[in-house]
Amino acid sequence: MEKILTHPVDELLASFSAASLPLSQALCISSHLERCAACHQKVQRLNGLGSELMQQLKPSPASSELKERMINRLDILTQETHARPQETHVSSVPRCLQQFIQTGYDKLPWRRVSPDIHNYELCRDSNGAKVELLRIKAGGSPTTHTHMGDEYTVILEGSFSDETGLYHQGDFLVRDARHKHTPVASQDRECICLAVTEGPIQFTGFFSRLLNPFVRRSYT
Amino acid sequence: MQKVAVNRDKTAFAELFDHYAPQIRAYSLAREPGADLVADDLTQDVMSRVWLKAGTYNADLANLNTWIFTLARNCRVDYLRRNSRHISNIDPSFIFDEMEDDNPGPFQLVNQTRAEDTVRTSLQKLPFEQSDVLTKIYLEGKTHQQTSIELKLPLGTVKSRVRLALKKLQVLVAR
């Protein structure tokens, strides 16, 4: 396997470790981490930082009633121990993507975008970001494009190059609206990427998300 | 912890509860001040996982505090997804849960405890503007963008403060 050259920056890994990233972006980071031991280790250290920060909070004592309820539930919990969902064995697909891809890339209902490129939309995030797979045939190139918002890309299979360099499996890239780029898949094999694009809808989602802390939610 | 994992010892579990429940509640309240019921629910979720997953906890991989933090974080993100008005089709358990079940690679066996001691002492010395940004991101669960709006700072400044803080804390320095 080629060496991974491009990684998420540290402050992005910190947000991942804090789970304060939109889930679509976290999905990209996670796909990268599964291939990158160095970043995986960084995240483990960052989790340690999270734990320190949590311990510095002023403790908020739990009621004795909550404790009693908890202890009484333990036996029920043990009985209910749910079997782990069966392991799927699609080794080439990152595990975090197996919630969308159960049978490998070839069986997906790919949609033709241009002669060189197919896409398959996995889902939309709550902020409107589009999460999709792009499949570029060997030597193929989508037309030059710019983005409305940031685009996160992780290479899952194959490699591609653009004006800035040559990227391989596991490489993680962020492109923003200022970038105009022309990716070209390598000649010898097709390239499959995970791409997350923030759409304009993001803003409505974003502002209303700001309201979330003020909306008290509870189970009652 | 051993007693909980192997002997299913409820007294030992109660001790863990006494120690961690107030921290978990505080963590929940940091994001949703005043939401006591949410904090109780999160505490129950996390402590249930502690009971059920005690056997998978690996002391070589993370110290107990860190393990509890990751469980609390995972439960909170899961809770937020279930209760969000903006439905995301992404299941966070595929992203976060899987990570902890990973076996450590040969070079992941870092000296976590020592690293955490260093972080603890240097956190105290961090300038407020840097620790504040970390608090917003880790405890209040805010994105860089939300943090920049709240603090009325350019996005780039937020990012560089995080970067500076990580550097000062030597979180990412290999030992």
A34-55 per-position pLDDT tens digit? 999 899 989 988 999 999 999 9
Instruction: Give the one of B37, B43, B123 whose C-beta lies nearest to A62's C-beta.
Output: B43
- B23–A57: do the CB atoms touch at under 8 Å? yes
- B146–A127: do the CB atoms touch at under 8 Å? no
Lowest pLDDT segment from A76-90, A154-168, B47-61: A76-90
The count of domains in chain B is: 2
Q: Mark whether B77 and B150 lie in a shared domain.
A: no
Distance from the B29 Cα atom to the nearest Cα atom in chain A, whole angstroms:
9
Q: Is A211 exposed, middle or buried (0-12, 13-18, 19+ CB in 10 A)?
A: exposed
Q: Give bridge partners of residue B38 from the DSSP assignment.
A: none
Which of A169, A19, A192 has the alpha carbon at shortest distance from B88?
A19
Contact B135/A at CB under 8 A: yes
Considering the entire predicted model, what is its pTM? Answer: 0.87
Under the banding of pLDDT at 50, 70 and 90, the label for residue B175 is: low
Q: Mark whether B123 and B38 lie in a shared domain.
A: no
Q: Give bridge partners of residue A114 from the DSSP assignment.
A: A117
Q: Mark whether B10 and B69 lie in a shared domain.
A: yes
* Interhelix angle A23-33/B92-101, nearest 10 degrees: 30
Lowest pLDDT segment from A189-193, B12-16, B116-120, B154-158: B116-120
- B88–A30: do the CB atoms touch at under 8 Å? no
Which of B78, B82, B61, B64 has the alpha carbon at shortest distance from B12?
B64
- A57–B139: do the CB atoms touch at under 8 Å? yes
Q: Mark whether B118 and B88 lie in a shared domain.
A: no
Mean pLDDT, range B64-89, rounded to an integer = 87
Print the domain residue range for B160: 112-169
**Residue found by looking up tokens 């990580």 in the block:** B166
Which of A184, A182, A194, A173 has the alpha carbon at shortest distance from A119?
A194
Contact B40/A at CB under 8 A: yes
CATH number, residue A197: 2.60.120.10
B162: in domain: yes
B141-172 per-position pLDDT tens digit? 999 999 999 999 999 999 999 999 999 988 87
B88: in domain: yes
Q: Mark whether B124 and B99 lie in a shared domain.
A: no
Among B69, B86, B105, the domain boundary falls at B105
A15: chain B residues, CB-CB within 8 Å: 137, 143-144
Under the banding of pLDDT at 50, 70 and 90, the label for residue B108 is: very low
Mutate to test the interface with B, among A45, A70, A73 (most CBs of B within 10 A): A45
List the single residue in B with minimal CA-CA distance to A9.
B163
Under the banding of pLDDT at 50, 70 and 90, the label for residue B2 is: confident
Q: Mark whether B119 and B150 lie in a shared domain.
A: yes
| SS3 category, A166 | strand
Q: Mark whether B127 and B98 lie in a shared domain.
A: no
A37: chain B residues, CB-CB within 8 Å: 105, 107-108
Print the domain residue range for A135: 1-220
Measured between alpha carbons, how far is B164 from B132 in angstroms, rounded to an integer? 12
Tell me which of A91 and A33 has the higher pLDDT.
A33
The count of domains in chain A is: 1
Among B51, B84, B105, the domain boundary falls at B105
Q: Which of residues 138-167 of B touch A (CB under 8 A)?
A: 138-146, 149, 159, 162-163, 166
B121: in domain: yes
Among B49, B72, B105, the domain boundary falls at B105
B79: in domain: yes
B174: in domain: no
B175: in domain: no
Q: Mark whether B10 and B71 lie in a shared domain.
A: yes
